[in-house]
């Protein structure tokens, strides 16, 4: 494909995707409003995922008293937060238009470093959408939000230009499928942005459909994918799994003796090699009350059913 053909193909992707992308303005209650001052106003992005449904970041609508939506054709409307999950930085909105075509959702598990992606959103609160082009720089990143203390796992890293206001908008592949939700930028760095994988969004919506609300299911560990270097350092004879990098005190994992450096190779009877796969195995074990784990510690193998804690998300 020539550069001209590629350019035209990407332009067509932009035209299609832009119809599904929305700009979100929020008004947060403020005591200053009693003195006639303007309440705090925030701005972000989002996209339509179903009839009358949109996805954005939780931090975009956090504490909002009023949510206003501007569609790709310039029409303004209202929105309402149906569900949110701070631990995933995701929120599901009900919007007042049902005639907007939902964006097509891709498979973020198939993303590879170097793949072309487009960031679509409303940078700096300007009515968009605005487009930037880049590549997938890395996958499986972990990001710690120093302000909230939230740890976001399994993120997509991209070098596509991301600015305040892009948060909540989609990252799409060359086929026009949403593969992620823009979530954060590193202010001190150049050309580094992050997105929540779209398969995490699918999971978020599926939990709402199953339980009527998102739930937080956990055992008390933070993990990272096992690499050949780490496996050699730990003395384990496996190439796939997740290594425990932190065990939270007084959690089921701590009580059942999991340690930093343990390698989890199976959960709920299936192999795990990513943060997402372990999280999904834990969530799928909610009804059983515990998740069966197969753990390697050096040359020893430990099998245990670790209780799953389920928390309501406030």
23 lies in the same domain as 91:
yes
Q: What are the residue ranges in the chain where pLDDT is below 50?
A: none
204 lies in the same domain as 220:
no
203 lies in the same domain as 235:
no
199 lies in the same domain as 220:
no
137 lies in the same domain as 164:
yes
Other beta carbons within 10 angstroms of residue 27's beta carbon come to 17
Total number of domains in the chain: 3
Which of 108, 167, 274, 285 does the annotation list as catalytic? 167
204 lies in the same domain as 283:
no
d(CA 55, CA 90): 7
Domain boundary among 50, 72, 95: 95
pLDDT in tens, 203-248: 999 888 888 888 888 899 989 889 889 998 988 889 899 999 999 9
202 lies in the same domain as 220:
no
Question: Quick check: is 274 catalytic?
Answer: no
Q: What are the DSSP calls for 65-102, one per residue? A: SEEEEE-TTS-EEEEEEEEEETTTTEEEEEES-S-SPP
Coil, strand or helix: which one is 114? Answer: coil
Domain boundary among 167, 188, 208: 208
Domain that holds residue 247: 214-312
pLDDT at 75: 92
pLDDT at 41: 77
pLDDT at 153: 80
221 lies in the same domain as 304:
yes
pLDDT at 29: 73
User: Which CATH number goes with the domain that contains 306?
Assistant: 2.30.42.10
Measured at the CA of 143, the angle between CA 141 and CA 148, to 5 degrees, comes to: 160
pLDDT at 30: 67
Which of 20, 45, 59, 84 does the annotation list as catalytic? 59
150 lies in the same domain as 122:
yes
Question: Quick check: is 254 catalytic?
Answer: no
User: Which CATH number goes with the domain that contains 40?
Assistant: 2.40.10.120
Q: How far apart are the first and last CA of the chain?
A: 50
Which of 20, 45, 84, 89 does the annotation list as catalytic? 89
Domain boundary among 95, 125, 154: 95
74 lies in the same domain as 11:
yes
User: Which CATH number goes with the domain that contains 152?
Assistant: 2.40.10.10
d(CA 76, CA 197): 28
Measured at the CA of 82, the angle between CA 186 and CA 144, to 5 degrees, comes to: 20
171 lies in the same domain as 245:
no
199 lies in the same domain as 224:
no
Question: Quick check: is 84 catalytic?
Answer: no
């Amino acid at each position: 494909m020539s550069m001209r053909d590629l350019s035209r193909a990407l332009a067509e992707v932009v035209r299609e995707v832009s119809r599904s992308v929305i700009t979100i303005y929020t008004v947060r209650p403020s005591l200053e409003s009693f003195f006639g001052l303007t309440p705090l106003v925030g701005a972000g992005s989002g996209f339509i995922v179903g009839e009358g449904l949109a996805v954005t970041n939780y931090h975009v609508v956090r504490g909002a008293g009023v949510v206003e939506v501007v569609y790709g054709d310039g029409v303004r409307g209202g929105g309402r937060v149906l569900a949110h999950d701070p631990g995933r930085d995701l929120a599901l909105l009900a919007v007042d238009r049902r005639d907007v075509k939902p964006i097509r959702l891709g498979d973020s598990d198939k993303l590879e470093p170097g793949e072309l992606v487009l960031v679509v959103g409303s940078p700096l609160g300007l009515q968009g959408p605005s487009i930037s082009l880049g590549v997938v720089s890395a996958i499986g990143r972990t990001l710690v939000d120093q302000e909230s203390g939230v740890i976001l796992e399994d993120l997509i890293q991209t070098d596509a230009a991301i600015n305040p206001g892009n948060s909540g908008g989609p990252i799409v592949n060359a086929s026009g499928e949403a593969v992620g939700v823009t979530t954060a930028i590193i202010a001190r760095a150049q050309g580094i942005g992050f997105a929540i994988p779209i398969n995490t969004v699918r999971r978020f919506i599926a939990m709402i459909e199953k339980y009527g609300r998102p739930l937080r299911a956990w055992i008390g560990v933070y993990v990272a994918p096992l690499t050949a270097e780490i496996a050699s350092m730990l003395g384990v004879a496996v190439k796939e799994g997740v290594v425990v990098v932190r065990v939270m005190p007084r959690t089921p994992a701590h009580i059942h003796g999991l340690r930093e450096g343990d390698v989890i190779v199976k959960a709920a009877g299936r192999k795990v090699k990513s943060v997402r796969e372990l999280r999904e195995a834990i969530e799928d074990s909610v009804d059983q009350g515990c998740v069966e784990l197969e753990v390697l510690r050096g040359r020893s193998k430990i099998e245990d059913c670790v209780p799953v804690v389920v928390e309501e998300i406030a």
